[in-house]
Amino acid sequence: MTDTEATGPLAGATERWVNTGGVQLCVAEWGDRTQPTVVLVHGFPDSKEVWSEVARRLADRFHVVLYDLRGCGRSSAPKPLRGGYTLEKLTDDFLAVADAVSPDRPVHLVGHDWGSVQGWEFATVARTEGRIASFTTMSGPCLDHLGLWLKKRATRPTPRRVGQLFGQGIKSWYVYAFHTPVVPEALWRGPLGKAWPGLLSRVEKTPDRGAHGADYPTASLPGDGAHGVWMYRDNVRARLRRPRTDAYAHVPVQLIHPTGDRFVSEQVFDELDTWAPRLVRRSLVAKHWAPRTHPDQISAWVADFVTSVEEGTPAVQSRAASAYAARFAGQLVLVTGAASGIGRATAFAFAEAGARVIAVDRDEEGAARTADLARLIGAPAAWSEPVDVSDAQAMEKLADKVAASYGVVDVLVNNAGIGVSGPFLDTSPEDWQRVLDVNLWGVIHGCRTFGRQMADRGQGGHIVNTASAAAFQPTRMLPAYATSKAAVLMLSECLRAELAGQGIGVSAICPGIINTNITKTTRFVGVDHDEEERRRTRSTRMYGKRNYPPEKVADAILRAVVRNQAVVPVTPEARGAHLLSRFAPKAIRALARLEPKG
């Protein structure tokens, strides 16, 4: 058949058919065929359209290929169905597609769900060597690896292994159901097929309609589900009973694990380094259908991985590597107040985890220095932006510039802050205005501008607001500062409730006494200039003696994002004050009356 123009979700792609093993496979292609070829393989009960949003994002850099598995979408089904879906025959299909679309160069393989289960077969059998350049796996384990993983836990049980076995068994409930004769097919062609799009939207939060106005799932869904159950029947029991013991990947492998996957436990991949020596792990805050809900991040990781392999420098990441690297590599992180202290340490921590960093501060030279050092530490890219966070228009312009130049921010850290110390009656309206403009309004501007972009993108994100132990520890000497930080804490709690439904986490970080430069710029009210300088010197000396480094706060920030923590007191004194504020408020109010000596 001749090439045709695709319609629906794949509008703009070219479709052709490839004959293999008595079936015709519908293949769609995007992009420049002279560029490296990326083959995206869909899972169950999907068709190739599940990849449409990811494919569009990759097509400007690569030759992107999608195909409907046999019996799915516009591909024909084998006859008979029984025995027509073995991994061996699915491998034949893949090789036929690879030979048709990239006869002279190996392809980069990306699989989701059953596309990933197949991908493991393709990446580990001898007859595909030389036809695959890399493999990105998502939400689908190798059946041979899984069989050995299950046997190890069944034959050498420990409480932890039994728990893992039980947990994955619960997640795999549908596998047993699909081995039931006739009933699964009837459900897919009947009520389940009709209900599936709405169910997917409600449970997985997939968009009702694609970004280009095309319905997903497609009209072929009932047949796709009915045919696809044979992949389970033809392969699962046979492979789990007699798993291959030589299923080693002969290509670099990138594992993307959605942390909210309802069907595959992360523990299944505990020993994956044994089977894939050239392994990179990625952790994505998403559910099972991540190709629909998080196409930006997936396409970015795939593009980076493919490019590194093409350039001959594929990353290798051991299991002992930082969990932060798996979570943040390639993500875009913006940190305000990044010229020094907690902000600079946080920018460095994200850079070390492989994130792209934007250092923001009104100190232009300090922000530029942070960006330069971030690149040396490990950030694939880092930029600096001189901005006063208290200026609403400047923050609006910054948000627009960042979105246009670098993309939507994945993690926002509103860290910029200043100090004001002294009695309430000595604090002037100007002092109040200054501290609230930076400490509170700076956070509001950041949350409003960048938070809006996160929400509009619809692919989640995280906002971190630096509050303080003073937010829940009243003191007679910090009324303005404590009020600003208490407001930041409450703002964070309110935003967390509002944005949770959009997959955006919000954390309030509450450090205590941290060895930073804030004391050198703190305004001490109610005293003359000489006394103010003496108090700055004494405070700086005290903070130096406490010597709690900002790097520990930075680590707490990254950990808060990974765990999606709401309120994080950092230092021992901050944790103690937080406990007192909750369980002994009278005690903490009594402490607030004490006047610091000196």
pLDDT at 422: 83
Residue 380: give the domain boundaries.
331-514+549-592
| pLDDT of residue 598 exceeding 70 | no
% of the chain at pLDDT higher than 70: 94
Query: Residue 598 falls within a domain, yes or no?
Result: no
pLDDT at 505: 97
pLDDT at 421: 81
Query: Residue 543 falls within a domain, yes or no?
Result: no
Query: Could you tell me where the beta strands, DSSP code E, fall in 177-326?
Result: 253-258, 279-284
User: What is the SS3 assignment for 104?
Assistant: coil
Mean pLDDT of 550-562: 95
Mean pLDDT of 509-538: 74
Residue type, 37: T
pLDDT at 169: 87
pLDDT at 498: 97
Q: Are residues 280 and 184 in the same domain?
A: yes
pLDDT at 320: 42
Q: What is the tens place of the pLDDT at every residue in 120-130?
A: 999 999 999 99
CA distances from 58 to 181, 296, 355, 404 (A): 40, 10, 20, 18
Mean pLDDT of 482-506: 95
Among 294, 321, 348, the domain boundary falls at 321
Query: Residue 521 falls within a domain, yes or no?
Result: no
Q: Are residues 373 and 298 in the same domain?
A: no
Q: Are residues 67 and 32 in the same domain?
A: yes
Query: Residue 377 falls within a domain, yes or no?
Result: yes
Which residues form the catalytic set? 481
Q: Are residues 317 and 338 in the same domain?
A: no
Select the more confidently predicted residue: 2 or 446: 446
Q: Are residues 317 and 351 in the same domain?
A: no
* Residue given tokens 């392999």 in the structure block: 309
Q: Which range (29-38, 297-306, 476-485, 532-541) has the least confidence?
A: 532-541
| pLDDT of residue 545 exceeding 80 | no
User: How many Å separate Cα 90 from the centre of its chain?
Assistant: 31
Q: What is the tens place of the pLDDT at every residue in 140-153?
A: 999 999 999 999 88
Among 321, 345, 376, the domain boundary falls at 321
Average pLDDT over the chain reads: 91
% of the chain at pLDDT higher than 90: 73
| pLDDT of residue 460 exceeding 90 | yes
Nearest CA to 70 out of 41, 37, 50 is that of 41
| pLDDT of residue 254 exceeding 80 | yes
Query: Residue 527 falls within a domain, yes or no?
Result: no
Q: Are residues 163 and 283 in the same domain?
A: yes
What is the band of 337 on the pLDDT scale with cuts at 50, 70, 90? very high
What is the band of 418 on the pLDDT scale with cuts at 50, 70, 90? confident
Q: How many domains does the chain have?
A: 2
Query: CA 98, CA 119: separation in Å to the nearest integer?
Result: 13
pLDDT at 382: 96
> What CATH number does the domain containing 456 carry?
3.40.50.720
Query: CA 220, CA 226: separation in Å to the nearest integer?
Result: 10
Nearest CA to 465 out of 448, 450, 447 is that of 447
303 Cβ contact list (under 8 Å, min separation 6): 58, 61, 62
Mean pLDDT of 530-555: 77
Q: What is the tens place of the pLDDT at every residue in 361-413?
A: 999 999 999 999 999 998 999 999 999 999 999 999 999 999 999 999 999 99
Mean pLDDT of 3-20: 85
pLDDT at 154: 86
pLDDT at 515: 64
Instruction: State how beta strands 63-67 and 37-41 pair.
Output: parallel
| pLDDT of residue 139 exceeding 90 | yes
What is the band of 213 on the pLDDT scale with cuts at 50, 70, 90? very low
pLDDT at 210: 46
Among 276, 297, 321, the domain boundary falls at 321
DSSP string of 172-190, one letter each residue: THHHHHHTSSSHHHHHHHT
Query: CA 12, CA 213: separation in Å to the nearest integer?
Result: 13
Helices marked H in 458-505 = 479-499
Query: Residue 480 falls within a domain, yes or no?
Result: yes
User: What is the SS3 assignment for 108?
Assistant: strand
Query: CA 408, CA 9: separation in Å to the nearest integer?
Result: 23
Q: Which range (312-321, 482-491, 501-510, 551-560) has the least confidence?
A: 312-321
pLDDT at 391: 96
What is the band of 596 on the pLDDT scale with cuts at 50, 70, 90? low
Query: CA 534, CA 517: separation in Å to the nearest integer?
Result: 15
DSSP string of 185-207, one letter each residue: HHHHHTHHHHHHHHHHHHHH---
> What CATH number does the domain containing 74 carry?
3.40.50.1820
Instruction: State how beta strands 411-414 and 420-421 pair.
Output: unpaired
Q: Are residues 317 and 341 in the same domain?
A: no
Select the more confidently predicted residue: 119 or 469: 119
Q: Are residues 361 and 268 in the same domain?
A: no
Query: Residue 145 falls within a domain, yes or no?
Result: yes
Q: Are residues 218 and 260 in the same domain?
A: yes
What stretch of H or E contains 54? helix 52-58
Query: Residue 340 falls within a domain, yes or no?
Result: yes
Q: Are residues 190 and 269 in the same domain?
A: yes
What is the band of 296 on the pLDDT scale with cuts at 50, 70, 90? very high
Q: What is the tens place of the pLDDT at every residue in 157-179?
A: 888 888 888 888 888 888 999 99
Q: Are residues 311 and 380 in the same domain?
A: no
Q: Are residues 150 and 189 in the same domain?
A: yes
pLDDT at 520: 65
Tell me if 510 sits within 8 A of 467, measured CB to CB: yes
